[in-house]
Amino acid sequence: MIGYIRFADNLSAWFGKTFAWLIVLMAVGTGYEVFVRYVLNSPTAWALDVSFIMYGTLFMMGGAYTLSRGGHVRGDFLYRLWQPKTQGKVDLVLYLIFFYPGVVALVLSGWKYASRSWGYSEVSINSPAGIPIYQFKTVMVAAGLLLFVQGIAQIMRCIHAIRANEWIKADEDVLETEDVLIQQAQEAETGGHA
């Protein structure tokens, strides 16, 4: 069980971190558009569509990674007060009743939309450039499959929490800026001796 959890976490992290680079491409593309629009007075016909496609891809492909790290929004004003065993029971029920039906619907409807879109080489109707978007619709299926794989790992985490009354944490691979600053301040106070 732990081996699968680590596999799913690593797979989700790889895809999440790989697709996170789209933010750099979006920044470059937006910067280019601003430059040619306002400096050269020659706006592009494709910049808006491409930024939408890249942002949507980034958002969807980062979902499983965010799930693996417990980063999705949750209303935990009561949840955080419960024992891990109780949290695991509640999470398990919610994954089975809400998460998996939603993910299965995402994969099946995404497959339908993507296959139709590929069939007629769909292009964006929002710009004169006619940017192809059929490949973007395939991202829905890929994101759904990644969520499905990560969801199994999350269910296994729930089962472990129910049995052992403790959560299997994902590897720490990203620190919040404020956590880094607090850590640096603490190290400065102690003279670098922890």
Please count the other Cβ atoms lying within 10 Å of the Cβ belonging to residue 25.
Answer: 13
pLDDT tens-digit readout, 82-92: 999 999 999 99
Supply the pLDDT for residue 11. 92
- What pTM, to 2 d.p., does this model score? 0.83
Residue at token pair 């496609």: 53
What's the rounded Cα separation, in Å, for the pair 65 and 9?
Answer: 7
Supply the pLDDT for residue 192. 59
pLDDT tens-digit readout, 127-183: 778 888 888 899 999 999 999 999 999 999 999 999 999 999 888 777 778 888 888
List, in sequence order, every residue forming a beta bridge with 132; answer none if it has no partner: 123
| pLDDT grade for 113, boundaries at 50, 70 and 90 | very high
- Sorted by where each begins, the domain ranges of the chain are 2-71+79-173
